[in-house]
């Protein structure tokens, strides 16, 4: 699957409005199940890449080696 095909499968869930008045479009990536926000002026692909990178960093920080812990 190409990056473009993956982006085409993204589902827009709605708009999240913060108390400060700024808003973000909430999307879901069916491939990973990840829900992420698209900021104003940001392309969906860029938002998906940003969210994926943050997820990978969080996994490294919580488990030390980036691998999931199976119980």
Residues 18-47: tens digit of each pLDDT:
888 889 999 998 888 889 999 989 998 899
In order of 4, 10, 19, 21, 28, the CA distances from 58 in angstroms are: 26, 22, 26, 28, 19
What is the pLDDT averaged over residues 56-63?
Answer: 76
Compute the distance between CA of residue 36 and CA of residue 26 in angstroms, rounded to an integer.
6
Compute the distance between CA of residue 41 and CA of residue 43 in angstroms, rounded to an integer.
7
In order of 18, 22, 39, the CA distances from 52 in angstroms are: 22, 23, 15
The model scores a pTM over 0.75:
no
Query: Where does the pLDDT of residue 1 fall: very low under 50, low under 70, confident under 90, or very high at 90 and above?
Result: low
Q: What's the CA angle centered on 29, arms 27 and 31, to 5 degrees? A: 175
């Amino acid at each position: 699957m190409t990056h473009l095909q993956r982006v085409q499968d993204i589902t827009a869930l709605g708009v999240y409005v913060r108390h400060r008045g700024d808003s973000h479009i909430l999307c879901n990536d069916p491939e990973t199940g990840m829900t992420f926000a698209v900021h104003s002026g940001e392309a969906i692909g860029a938002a998906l890449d940003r969210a994926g990178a943050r997820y990978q960093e969080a996994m490294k920080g919580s488990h030390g080696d980036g691998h999931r812990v199976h119980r």
